[in-house]
Every structure is written in structure tokens, then in C-alpha cells.
Amino acid sequence: MKNEIEKRQSRKVGVAGGFINQMMGNNSSIPIVGEGATILGYSDRQAYQVIEVSDDGLSCVIQEMNTKFVGESYGDERYEYSDNSEGHTLTLEWNAKKSCWGEVSYSVDVIKSLEKKYYKEYGYGWLDILLSERGLTYDDIVEGEGEGMFYHKLIDGLTKKYKNFSRTSIIFGVAEQYRDPSF
């Protein structure tokens, strides 16, 4: 039953970024524990290793590998790779609707239909008006701050927890580090 769904990633070619990464992004590779994974950036590539795959094959955890530059000069992009048990990890999920892998996060925000309604009626001051009608201030709905961002409290009828998906162009089965020397 594992990996029965074909996971064919599609990435637009010729739009932006390095041509090689665009072509590599169109693949149907699947994550296998212990094998490499390469995140494809605009023109750079970052080496990871698959450390966990869900039973249904629809999510995985990858961990950044240690890479050591062994090239000799500008443009010589050779690296040595080793496991990194302390490396940064990412949890990725397959999104069949978007035909891609991506990172999932969650946020608490003002209910989108309320935001749309109040913005349409009041413009930029919509949030102050919405809160004042409920006897609240902005401080009443803020739970904390981290990394320069404010986080909202979950308040029935005012805020809602939303799932966010951030597309990640990736190829499984190979770990490759590459830094575009032209930047």
C-alpha cells in the first residue's frame, strides 16, 4: 500500500531560476529512509538525507547533511558529504492537488471572511473597528512575539487556525550541494 500514489512533481520551465534545477524539479522520485534528498533553489541546491517516511508515503522528514567544499577554485563545485545528526530537519507533505512536496505550518489569523468583509467596508482601519465592536484591543488578541512576528490567540468567532503550505522543489534519491558561483 505504501507509495501507491504516483507523486509526479511539476515545475514550470523557463520562468525563473536555473534551467538545470527547473528540469530536476520535474520528477516522480519518492523518499526512502537512508537515501539522499536535494532541495532545489533558484540556482543552488542543498543536500539532505531522508530520516523518516510515513506509512502511507505522503510525508517525510529530511535532515540537512554536513557538506565540506573540496573544490579547488571558482566554479569547481565538489563537496564531501557526511551524516549530521544535529542538522536542521524539515517535515514535508505531498500535496496531490498542487502536485508537489511542501513544508506545512499552522497560523492563527482573523477569520478570512471577516477580514474580507470588514476591509471591503472600512478599508485599512478594518481591524480596529472589528475589535472595538467586540470590546477588544489588538493586545487582547496577540499571544506572543517570535522572530519579529506576532502570534494571535485562538478566539471563537474571531480567529481561526489555518494550515499553510509552502511548496518545496525537491528530488529524492540523491544528495547534492551546489552553490551557483555566478552570485
- Check residue 182 and give its pLDDT: 77
Range of the domain at 48: 19-104+165-172
For residue 6, is it within any domain? no
According to DSSP, the β-strands at 100-110 and 142-146 are unpaired
Number of H helices, E strands in the chain: 4, 11
- Check residue 1 and give its pLDDT: 43
For residue 13, is it within any domain? no
Residue 178 DSSP class: B
Q: Three-state SS for 119?
A: helix
- Check residue 16 and give its pLDDT: 61
For residue 100, is it within any domain? yes
Residue ranges in the chain whose pLDDT is less than 50: 1, 3
How many Å apart are CA 91 and CA 109, to the nearest integer? 22
For residue 179, is it within any domain? no
How many Å apart are CA 35 and CA 48, to the nearest integer? 9
- The whole model's pTM is what? 0.76
In total, the chain counts a number of residues equal to 183
